[in-house]
Amino acid sequence: MKKLKKLIRKLWYRLFPKKQINQINKKLLIALKDKAKERINLSTEIKNYLVNELKIDKKSKFIPLHVRRQVCTHVMAKFGKRMIAHKIKININLELVAL
């Protein structure tokens, strides 16, 4: 009887945690996909803001340094909280960098 009891416990503890881990992994994958989509949406919003609102082509090599600094401050003023939440930074070369 004791051997049967031990066997049942072993089987139970081997099977039950696997179910929990699989459920957690599924939830994490969904959350990661959502976060990646939000990051991509934020970066496209910032790029569109640079092109449409500020009329700046970010690939141009002839943007003066003081203008690039002003653009960085404008972007941080408008999208700063969301950028911090999604761990995205804009550097002095107007490139979006994910941390």
What are the residue ranges spanned by the domains of the chain? 2-98
pLDDT of residue 47: 92
pLDDT of residue 3: 87
Q: Return the amino acid letter for 27.
A: K
Rounded to an integer, the average pLDDT of 25-40 is 93
Q: How many Cβ atoms from other residues are within 10 Å of residue 11's Cβ? A: 10
Q: Give the tens place of pLDDT for each residue, 36-89.
A: 999 999 999 999 999 999 888 877 878 899 999 999 999 999 999 999 999 999
* pTM of the shown model: 0.72
d(CA 85, CA 35): 10
d(CA 50, CA 62): 15
Put residue 42 in one of left, alpha, beta given phi > 0 → left and psi -120 to 50 → alpha.
alpha
